[in-house]
Amino acid sequence: MSKMVYLDNAATTKTSAEVVEAMLPYFTEYYGNPSSLYGFASHNKDAISKARKTIADTIGAKEKEIYFTAGGSASDNWALKATADLLGEKKGKHIITSKIEHHAIMHTCDYLAKKGYEITYIDVDENGVIKLDELKEAIRPDTILISVMFANNEIGTIQPIKEIGAIAHEHGILFHTDAVQAYSHIPINVDEYNIDMMSASGHKFYGPKGIGFLYIRTGVKIGSFVHGGAQERKRRAGTENVPGIIGIAKAAQIAHEHMSEWNDKEIAMRDHLIDRILDEIPYSRLNGGRDNRLPNNANFSFQFVEGESMLIMLDMKGICASSGSACASGSLDPSHVLLGIGLPHEIAHGSVRLTLSDETTMEDIDYTVDALKEIVAQLRSMSPLYEDFVKKQNNK
């Protein structure tokens, strides 16, 4: 393809060259099994321990509180199911979460619900911020876990994590947060934010895919998720993904070194994008608040047009974006997040998510806005909803 503008960094990011370089020796040179006795393999053991320390330092945790997993979904599944196992009989079967979680949380909750757990889904306001008073009211004596995502993957809304954690702890309830979109993008400190468990995933911040971690606070005694060998302090069996672990740690280190620089750059581009779209495309709206959102996320709805058509036309212009309309992703229902913030179906269907990276340029943004202007106008000209709307306007 000639020109490509990649604006789907919330889906996944390019593994950075530095990360790949750090990983490579662990395929062909240091390929030993870290559990082996000989000196050749012990290098790997040290490398893993260093990587764990690097990551622990980024969130104010201890090295032994970081458990490597196969990614965000694996971490989310572990946190929820193992908490249910630990406390289901002892304390109760009630779990509180939000209406706008990622499917890794939602579908795990569905699974637990089938096993007899009761799940309360807390509403969000029009910007996607969880309603704290509803959260407080939902707490019961048998509540064992509150799980609320740090930042939303579709509309980028950052949740009041500190407050949610404080509420959980006031009531002696464990607090888990899915920080897959937030970790290594914005500062997180597990003590300051009252976090007991936290999920993260490497491929969302220029690291490799298929590697993530679950932070588990010391004293939280959830059991093993994958049974087998003694890896990960006997809590997650399986020969370590050494290159992946080296890669995620390298990516985290780079992201934390550059965090404020990248944030400033991305916020400037994101705000330019938002300003231009709202100014230049009529009947468009920004989903999620202007402030209090991830630096690299913008999500728009364009009235009278449908998401998949927009995505195909963007793709034809070399722009990779994603949609709030699930049409393109194998399910027909509109996004539960956009419905959760109160959008009617037909508006939720006409949504596009654009997520930037540190490699995005202002030219990319301007090119994308120009393309979107054309595409939206073209699709509106063939939309029966727009036709009806215009006729109604003319009859006024």
Partner 1 sequence: MYSEKVMDHFQNPRNVGEIENASGVGTVGNAKCGDIMRMYLDIDDNGIIQDCKFKTFGCGAAVATSSMATELVKGKTIQQALEVTNKAVMEALDGLPPIKIHCSLLAEEAIHAALWDYAEKNGIKIEGLSKPKSDISEDEEEEEY
Residues involved in catalysis: 327
Identify the CA nearest to 132 among candidates 121, 140, 143, 124.
124
Whole-angstrom distance, CA of residue 59 vs CA of residue 72: 17
Identify the CA nearest to 84 among candidates 18, 76, 140, 319.
76
Q: Are 108 and 79 in contact (CB under 8 A)?
A: no
Burial status of residue 328 (CB atoms within 10 A of its CB: 0-12, 13-18, 19 or more)? middle
> Contact between 212 and ligand PLP (CB under 6 A)?
yes
In the complex, minimum distance from the CB of residue 211 to ligand PLP, in angstroms, rounded to a whole number: 8
In the complex, minimum distance from the CB of residue 296 to ligand FES, in angstroms, rounded to a whole number: 29
- Residue 209 DSSP one-character state: T
> Contact between 304 and partner 1 (CB under 8 A)?
yes
Element (H, E) at 277: helix 259-280
Residues 35-54 that bind ligand PLP (CB under 6 A): none
The token duo for 219 is 């004293």
Nearer to partner 1 by Cβ, of 4 and 382: the residue is 382
Q: How many residues bind partner 1 (CB under 8 A)?
A: 25
The token duo for 377 is 């106008």
Nearer to partner 1 by Cβ, of 16 and 323: the residue is 323
> Contact between 330 and ligand FES (CB under 6 A)?
no
> Contact between 362 and partner 1 (CB under 8 A)?
no
Identify the CA nearest to 8 among candidates 251, 255, 364.
364
Binding to partner 1 by CB under 8 A, coded x per residue (else -) over 108-147, reads: ----------------------------------------
Terminal CA-CA length for the chain? 47
Residues 325-344 that bind partner 1 (CB under 8 A): 325, 327-328, 330, 332-334
> Contact between 364 and ligand PLP (CB under 6 A)?
no
Residues 79-108 that bind ligand PLP (CB under 6 A): 102, 104
Note the residues at the interface with ligand FES (CB under 6 A): 327, 332
Q: Which residues bind ligand PLP (CB under 6 A)?
A: 71-73, 76, 102, 104, 149, 153, 178, 180-181, 201, 212
